Amino acid sequence: MPVNIHDSWKSVLKEEFEKDYFKELISFIKYEYQQHTCYPPGNEIFSAFDYCPFEKIKVVIIGQDPYHGPNQANGLCFSVKEEIPHPPSLINIFKELESDIGKPYPKSGDLSYWATQGVLLLNATLTVRAHEAGSHQKQGWEVFTDAVIQKISEQCNDIVFLLWGGFAKKKGRKIDAKKHHILTSGHPSPLSANRGYWFDNKHFSQTNAYLKSIGKAEIEW
């Protein structure tokens, strides 16, 4: 199973890749992909890392599971492939973008253009079996992505972490708030958004204001 991951991450995560839990995880994933339809495609599992080199990270957005419908997941949290209908959470993200910074609602749900600008779109679990939400949880991915977050917190400075919903907030407990800029809100899912916990959080404009204040280029959302 081919894996694409930017060279900068290989050195940062070298010790993690050599741990027993990670080797067991990869064996599990290989078996799952051989026996079942799984998402995203094997060569896109590490797309978040491939699009966003370690030294270029400006923003981290934490998701939970990849989408489990056909042709949706592309290895970036909340993102879908070109010409795929936008899932409800992504619709609400784009609506908030529209009201926050005035960006017209986009046709494409592919967020790779965010990732290439330094936005790490990290799911807590990087794979899923088709039509079975959460099916690859508790197999080691969460340990791996916790380590990723901790490495970023320790080795980088002034990163903007966008923690949307209770799950992401728990995932972000190891972030050093003295070194980084943390923004929290409800999740963009309809359940949370319709209760008033998502809309008008202004995270996109706040992120750019912070990046500008520290002399970094703003994200073209």
State the Cα–Cα distance between residues 152 and 133, nearest whole angstrom: 27
Q: Is the pLDDT of residue 113 over 60?
A: yes
- Give CA torsion, residues 51, 55, 59, 62, to 10 deg: 60
pLDDT tier, 174 (very low <50, low <70, confident <90, very high otherwise): confident
**Strand extents, DSSP E, the chain:** 38-39, 59-63, 119-123, 128-129, 160-164, 181-185
pTM of the predicted model as reported, rounded to 2 decimal places: 0.95
Pairing of strands 181-185, 119-123: unpaired
Give catalytic status of residue 50 as yes or no: no
pLDDT digits (tens, 9 = 90+) for 120-155: 999 999 999 999 999 999 999 999 999 999 999 999
pLDDT band at 178 (very low <50, low <70, confident <90, very high): very high
pLDDT at 202 over 70: yes
The mean pLDDT value for 78-106 works out to 96
Q: What is the pLDDT of residue 35?
A: 97
At residue 1, the pLDDT reads: 54
Candidates 50, 65, 158, 176; catalytic one: 65
% of the chain exceeding 70 in pLDDT: 98
Using only the alpha carbons of the chain, give its radius of gyration.
17
Rounded Cα gap, residues 103 and 2, in angstroms: 36
Q: What is the mean pLDDT of the chain?
A: 95
